[in-house]
């Protein structure tokens, strides 16, 4: 479509030159008819291109929305966790439009041949010289625009993260009388975000001025050359007009692609974001298989293999990188080196900061799945969550777990994972939040599920008492 659009533009430019020549020669009917055909042709071409772009974008969006579901299944830490998936969808949907502009710019180079045949070597040399200057400027403008767009995205992510952090600690800040501190923090991050946005807008305006200036200069110089040639009788009017219009078409196509040049990397980055970060496979009896894995917090390579029903304990002092290792195994963080094969089956994660959803106790435990109430109560009793408070499954819980102790919240999250029928359970140092009675209840519940693969990180008191693999981490 890009090639067709560019060829059509050059053809209509030549037809416009013929029409104007007819009008100058007082062939008004023929000239006016040709001009009408040119206007109708350009309008029809624009409508066709818009319709094609819309259909292509809709098809791409429909396909990529399914990939978003895969991305949302696995949390990602860091910047990707805060990325705007809507932005990613828009960028990927516009990738075909960028390819069209690139093809159009490439085919528009045929205008150089047209220019040489109609106006000679001088006009062609001027155009090639300005083109050699313009292309690097377009690319530089695109790279600067991309860098500032990434900076704006980074500062926006920082602002969002800081807002959530301040809101999460608002009760403590209010108790300390330090709410103004949170407001100043958010204001400072907001100012930095606005500065990045203004910088991106300024660069975009500067780039637009440069590209428009070069385009205007090129057309003006070609018009001057062919004008002198026309006055000297060395060229006809139709050839002069074709030269001017072909130059305008050439720089117009290149300018449109140059302005959007930075979107190429945006589209690639968006495609990576919409790709599920988990590398899952059916590995037979193997659930997790990590080979020479080096994480971002510990330089020592780790290798471990967990089969169906394995019980793995990862221990070590605080700060040694146990949580980072678990998150790398899960695919939430990228490894510095090494390979991880992950399960294609469900994985339940229980951490000290695991959250609930705002809704009933039943909704928190079943997550909308059709689970019998007796089965729900059975798992709750296994974990020591019985009595009047947990007998009513319609009881409303809040996302922050208000009304539950930390130990109760952790056991509700564990019950949710067990009711979902996960094949693997990852436990990140939660035994310290449970009293001895609760720990014993959880241990008995885990021991009954002999086919469940469990990987637990703990400082000194793991829930698993008889691990099949014990990995001791050192700083």
Could you read off the pLDDT of 42-69 as tens digits, one per residue? 889 888 888 887 888 777 777 776 666 6
State whether residue 351 is helix, strand or coil.
strand
Query: For residue 79, is pLDDT > 50?
Result: no
pLDDT > 90: what percent of the chain?
A: 12
Among residues 404, 410, 419, which one has the least CA distance to residue 365? 419
Range in 131-145, 310-324, 346-360 the model is least confident about:
131-145
Query: For residue 455, is pLDDT > 90?
Result: yes
CB 365 within 8 A of CB 394: no
pLDDT value of position 387: 79
State whether residue 229 is helix, strand or coil.
helix
Residues whose CB falls within 8 Å of the CB of residue 217, separated by 6 or more in sequence, listed in order: 130
Query: For residue 105, is pLDDT > 70?
Result: yes
CB 329 within 8 A of CB 369: no
Range in 149-158, 206-215, 281-290, 426-435 the model is least confident about:
281-290
Handedness of CA 425, 429, 433, 438 (dihedral sign): positive
Among residues 345, 344, 331, which one has the least CA distance to residue 293? 331
DSSP annotation of 331: T
Q: 259 pLDDT band (50/70/90 cuts)?
A: low
Which segment, 85-94, 114-123, 134-143, is predicted with the most confidence on average? 114-123
Hey, what domains does the chain have and what are their CATH numbers? 2-273 (1.20.1560.10), 280-472 (3.40.50.300)
The span from the CA of 228 to the CA of 365, in Å, is 84
What the block records as the tokens of 66 is 């399914």
The span from the CA of 287 to the CA of 348, in Å, is 13
User: Which pairs from 17-24 meet CB under 8 Å and 24+ separation?
Assistant: 17/238, 17/239, 17/241, 17/242, 17/244, 17/245, 18/238, 20/237, 20/241, 21/236, 21/237, 21/238, 21/241, 24/237
* H or E stretch at 302: strand 302-307
Among residues 161, 134, 143, which one has the least CA distance to residue 200? 143
Query: For residue 266, is pLDDT > 60?
Result: yes
Better pLDDT: 18 or 50: 18
Which segment, 36-45, 82-91, 98-107, is predicted with the most confidence on average? 36-45
Q: 166 pLDDT band (50/70/90 cuts)?
A: confident
Range in 67-71, 94-98, 352-356 the model is least confident about:
67-71
Range in 79-88, 103-112, 399-408 the model is least confident about:
79-88
DSSP string, 66-107: HHHHHHHTS---GGGGG--HHHHHHHHHTHHHHHHHHHHHHH
pLDDT value of position 334: 80
The span from the CA of 362 to the CA of 357, in Å, is 11
> For residue 58, how many other CB atoms are within 10 A of its CB?
11
pTM above 0.95, yes or no: no
Beta strands in 113-250 (DSSP E): none
CA-to-CA separations, 221 to 116, 123, 435, in angstroms, rounded: 14, 8, 85
Query: For residue 293, is pLDDT > 60?
Result: yes
State whether residue 356 is helix, strand or coil.
coil
> For residue 365, how many other CB atoms are within 10 A of its CB?
28
State whether residue 309 is helix, strand or coil.
coil
Query: Tens digits of per-residue pLDDT, 231-253?
Result: 888 888 988 999 999 888 888 88
- How much is the mean pLDDT over the chain? 81
Which single residue is written with the structure tokens 């997550």? 367
Query: For residue 269, is pLDDT > 70?
Result: no
Length of the chain: 475
Query: For residue 74, is pLDDT > 60?
Result: no
The span from the CA of 156 to the CA of 152, in Å, is 6
Query: For residue 282, is pLDDT > 60?
Result: no
Query: Tens digits of per-residue pLDDT, 384-424?
Result: 998 788 888 888 887 667 778 889 999 999 999 999 888 89
Better pLDDT: 145 or 167: 167
CA-based end-to-end distance of the chain: 58
What the block records as the tokens of 133 is 């200057």
What the block records as the tokens of 310 is 């394995």
pLDDT > 70: what percent of the chain?
A: 83
pLDDT value of position 437: 92
Query: Tens digits of per-residue pLDDT, 195-227?
Result: 888 877 777 676 667 767 777 888 888 889 888
The span from the CA of 427 to the CA of 456, in Å, is 5
State whether residue 317 is helix, strand or coil.
coil
Which single residue is written with the structure tokens 């062939």? 27
Average pLDDT of the residues in 77-82: 45
The span from the CA of 241 to the CA of 21, in Å, is 8
pLDDT value of position 130: 82
């Amino acid at each position: 479509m890009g090639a067709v659009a560019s060829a059509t533009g050059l053809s209509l430019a030549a037809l416009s030159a013929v029409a104007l020549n007819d009008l100058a020669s007082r062939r008004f009917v023929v000239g006016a008819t040709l001009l009408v055909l040119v206007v109708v042709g350009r309008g029809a071409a624009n409508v066709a291109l818009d319709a094609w772009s819309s259909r292509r974008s809709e098809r791409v969006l429909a396909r990529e929305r399914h990939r978003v579901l895969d991305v949302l299944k696995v949390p990602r830490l860091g910047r990707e966790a805060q990325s705007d998936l809507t932005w990613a969808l828009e960028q990927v949907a516009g990738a075909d439009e960028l390819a069209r502009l690139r093809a159009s710019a490439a085919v528009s180079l045929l205008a150089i041949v047209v220019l040489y045949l109609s106006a000679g070597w001088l006009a062609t040399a001027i155009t090639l010289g300005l083109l050699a200057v313009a292309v690097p400027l377009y690319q530089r403008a695109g790279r600067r625009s991309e860098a500032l767009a990434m900076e704006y995205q980074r500062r926006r992510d920082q602002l969002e993260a800081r807002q959530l952090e301040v809101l999460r600690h608002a009760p403590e800040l209010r108790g300390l009388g330090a709410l103004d501190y949170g407001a100043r923090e958010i204001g400072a991050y907001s100012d930095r975000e606005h500065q990045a946005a203004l910088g991106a807008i300024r660069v975009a305006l500067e780039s637009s001025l440069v590209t428009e200036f070069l385009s205007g200069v090129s057309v003006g110089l070609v018009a001057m050359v062919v004008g002198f040639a026309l006055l000297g009788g060395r060229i006809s009017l139709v050839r002069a007009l074709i030269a001017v219009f072909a130059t305008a078409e050439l720089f117009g196509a290149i300018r449109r692609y140059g302005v959007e040049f930075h979107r190429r990397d945006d589209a690639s980055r968006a495609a990576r974001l919409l790709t599920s970060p988990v590398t899952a496979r059916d590995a037979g009896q193997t659930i997790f298989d990590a080979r020479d894995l080096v994480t971002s917090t510990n330089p020592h390579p780790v290798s471990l293999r967990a089969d169906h029903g394995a019980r793995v304990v990862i221990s070590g002092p605080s700060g040694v990188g146990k949580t980072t290792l678990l998150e790398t195994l899960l695919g939430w963080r990228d490894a510095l080196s090494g390979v991880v094969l992950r399960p294609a089956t469900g994985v339940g994660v229980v951490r000290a900061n695991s959250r609930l959803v705002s809704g009933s106790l039943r909704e928190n435990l079943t997550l909308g799945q059709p689970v019998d109430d007796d089965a729900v109560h059975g798992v709750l009793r296994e974990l020591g969550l019985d009595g009047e408070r947990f007998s009513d499954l319609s009881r409303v819980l809040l996302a922050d777990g208000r009304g539950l102790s930390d130990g109760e919240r952790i056991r509700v999250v564990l019950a949710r994972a067990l009711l979902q029928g996960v094949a693997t359970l990852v436990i990140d140092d939660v035994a310290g939040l449970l009293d001895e009675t609760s720990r014993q209840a959880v241990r008995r519940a885990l021991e009954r599920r002999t086919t469940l693969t469990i990987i637990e990180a703990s400082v000194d008191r793991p829930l698993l008492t008889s691990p099949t693999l014990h990995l001791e981490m050192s700083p």
